[in-house]
A and B are shown apart, each in its own frame.
Chain A
Amino acid sequence: MDIFANMLTGFGIAITPLNLALCLVGCFVGTLIGVLPGIGPTATIALLLPVTFSLPPTSAIIMLAGIYYGAMYGGSTTAILVNMPGEAAAAITCIDGYQMARQGRAGPALGIAAFGSFIAGTVGVVFLMLLAPPIAELALKFGPPEIFAVMVLGLTILSYLSSGSLLKAFIIALIGLFIGMIGIDIAGVERFTFNIPDFYDGIGLLPVLMGLFGVGEVLFNLERVITRDIFITKIRGFLPNREDWRRSVMPIVRGTGIGFFMGVIPGPSNTLSSFLSYAVEKRLSDHAEQFGTGAIEGVAGPESANNAACASNFIPVLTLGIPTSPVMAVIVGALIIHGVTPGPLLIRNNPDIFWGTIASMYIGNIMLLILNLPLIGLWVKVLKIPYGILFPLILFFCFIGAYSSNNSLVDVNVMIFFGLLGYLMKKTGFEPAPLVMAYILCPFLEEAFRQSLIKSHGDFSIFFKRPLSATILAVAFLFVFMNIFTGIKEKRKRLLEKIDED
């Protein structure tokens, strides 16, 4: 079969000493920046782009891709150990992963995250290889109404993610939308910028993330005097036990499917798919009440989803030349800088890049598994540093992360502001994740919304007339009503109990 022949060529390219070394470097650097709070793959890939100028295009892409999925692995490590996601996609892993760590089960959490990521990543690459052409065709059928509907669904699923109230989650998501609207819109109108030139391009994601999750968390921890470590971990064994595996198998399978499918759709699919996987697992679980207190499914599913999405993120890039996220955009930029034209002709004109990259992703996944498990001990030692010394470093990394996205101190101001906001939100029962998601989705959401209206000549029913978007929106409404319904049921129960008592 053609595919096998192509894969053999790909492997032939991927296992040259140079490319193997670069893959390893990429994976290691990726994991490192994924672990380190305050720096992410977009910034790192952009920073290391000049380093790749002297390399052939295939080698450059192999290294940069390694950084990308390495960061996915690394982001989950900090999410689990310090409740700080190195990447937005790891934000959901914080919920149960951190709780598991607090219960002394950081080892199995990290282990299942690593294994789940490996399995999902490898399976994801297999599917990438097989399904790239037909899936690209299906994605072309997704018009603006469908894209809008999918994002509304994603935001609605927050109802299952908020341990607090659905109302507050929606409110904070709307705030996130407003933050996303800051800047010059598609039509060139400057919105909510307060005449600050630095805001014309919008507020950067990194300052928002660093502020909300990093600074906000540190502030919350510092309310209490640091007399000893706030967080003490005994990592007993890195490997998940049989019970953990039994509970994680299906979440990994489902997460892989969800992640892979969502990764093809333009937008922040890693984040969306990990959130969706969490919601699905919670819904399907026999122990739904454990979610939020250390359910391993809450780690296995989302981690698999975001790694599978990583693989399928490359489909639109490699087959259509369309980046689905800022990281992919930088990678497309890298291709262009190296004189390669991304697009449908890439597979024909530069098969070495196409198949070489895919082959290196297999290898990269193996490398990451090997890198991650033994190095967990290293990361744990790093995090055993007393909090009194650790928190200034965390704040510093937040600074650097916020600063380096645009080399702008205004971004640092933004980060400090969001730190305050994040802290206040924690105190008043508003969770940061919906805000972040809405903020990320906002430009895509609004564009899809406006395009849909233009397409339908102002008719709102376009969202409900098209079967695909109607179905997706129906599912979204279902989530909302189920949540309200269970809320009402509970209130009725409590009221009835009170009446019984009297």
Chain B
Amino acid sequence: MKQLDLISGVVLLVMGTAVFLKSLTYPVGTFRTPGAGLFPLIASTLLLSLSAILTLQAFLSRKGNGLAVTAFFPEKDAPRRILLVFAGMIGYRYLLPVIGFGPSTGMFILFLIKFLGGYGWKMSLFYSGVSAVVLYYLFEAWLKIPMPLPLLRF
């Protein structure tokens, strides 16, 4: 955890610096007439201080212990699965305006059930098909949530 804290601390320091510098580009005003940049400036200063403390704490205790570093992922397959979920979500989001709500939802659910849910093709197709139809009727037909019109219309 301490190594993670060190990395987090450094990342936060970088973030804090970025926000601090960006806040300076906004009209800071004065304390009498606070501008848009004042609040972010104060907050980023606080962030920098606290992140510095975190980094320092992590650095100091790291020297002391040298304990085994707990693995970031609990299983070997975990990174692959996480990436698959992201691929699925990003794919869904960009497929939606192309082929429409119903088909893209079906494909999204199919992808996830098959490759992450541990089901075979038949069950995956069945569940994803049923879900897609139900969800289509629920959200697009009944609740009439405006979905982007697909480029490829069926």
Interface residues of A (CB under 8 A from B): 47, 167-168, 170-171, 174-175, 177-178, 181, 185, 187, 189, 191-192, 215, 218-219, 222-227, 386-389, 391-393, 395-396, 399-400, 403-404, 407, 409, 412-413, 416, 419-420, 423, 427-430, 446, 449-450, 453-454, 457-460
Interface of A is mostly: helix
Say which residue of B26, B82, B127 sits within 8 Å of A423 (CB atoms).
B82
List B97-154 residues whose CB lies under 8 Å from chain A. Answer: 97, 105, 108-109, 112-113, 116-119, 127-128, 131, 135, 139, 143, 145-146, 148
Residues of chain B within 8 A (CB-CB) of A449 are 34, 39
Most A Cβ at <10 Å: residue of B89, B96, B112: B89
B75, A224: Cβ atoms closer than 8 Å = yes
B74, A458: Cβ atoms closer than 8 Å = no
Say which residue of B4, B12, B128 sits within 8 Å of A427 (CB atoms).
B4
- CB-nearest residue of chain B relative to A47? B143
- CB-nearest residue of chain B relative to A424? B8
B145, A225: Cβ atoms closer than 8 Å = no
A139 vs B143: C-alpha distance when bound (angstroms): 39
A450, B39: Cβ atoms closer than 8 Å = yes
A227 vs B112: C-alpha distance when bound (angstroms): 15
Q: Is B47 an interface residue (CB 8 A)?
A: yes
Q: Is B1 an interface residue (CB 8 A)?
A: yes
Residues of chain A within 8 A (CB-CB) of B82 are 219, 222-223, 423
Residues of chain B within 8 A (CB-CB) of A227 are 118
A191, B116: Cβ atoms closer than 8 Å = no
B118, A226: Cβ atoms closer than 8 Å = yes
B5, A225: Cβ atoms closer than 8 Å = no
Residues of chain A within 8 A (CB-CB) of B34 are 449-450, 453-454
Say which residue of A185, A192, A454 sits within 8 Å of B22 (CB atoms).
A192
The smallest beta-carbon distance between A427 and chain B, in angstroms, is: 7
Q: Is B46 an interface residue (CB 8 A)?
A: yes
A191, B85: Cβ atoms closer than 8 Å = no
Size band of the interface chain B makes with A: 35 or more
Residues of chain B within 8 A (CB-CB) of A419 are 89
Say which residue of A223, A392, A459 sits within 8 Å of B109 (CB atoms).
A392
Residues of chain B within 8 A (CB-CB) of A168 are 54
Most B Cβ at <10 Å: residue of A218, A388, A407, A428: A388
A380 vs B27: C-alpha distance when bound (angstroms): 54
Counting from the closest, the 4 A-B pairs by CB-CB distance are: A388-B117, A458-B31, A458-B32, A189-B36
A47 vs B85: C-alpha distance when bound (angstroms): 30
Q: Is B65 an interface residue (CB 8 A)?
A: no
B26, A191: Cβ atoms closer than 8 Å = yes
Residues of chain B within 8 A (CB-CB) of A395 are 85, 88-89, 108, 112
A177 vs B40: C-alpha distance when bound (angstroms): 8
A391 vs B85: C-alpha distance when bound (angstroms): 11
- CB-nearest residue of chain A relative to B1? A429
B135, A396: Cβ atoms closer than 8 Å = yes
- A389-B113, A395-B112, A450-B34 known; A223 vs B43 contact (CB < 8 Å): no
The smallest beta-carbon distance between A224 and chain B, in angstroms, is: 6
Residues of chain B within 8 A (CB-CB) of A459 are 31
A168 vs B55: C-alpha distance when bound (angstroms): 11
- A191-B26, A392-B117 known; A47 vs B39 contact (CB < 8 Å): no
A227 vs B75: C-alpha distance when bound (angstroms): 14
Q: Is B14 an interface residue (CB 8 A)?
A: no
A403 vs B146: C-alpha distance when bound (angstroms): 10
A167, B26: Cβ atoms closer than 8 Å = no
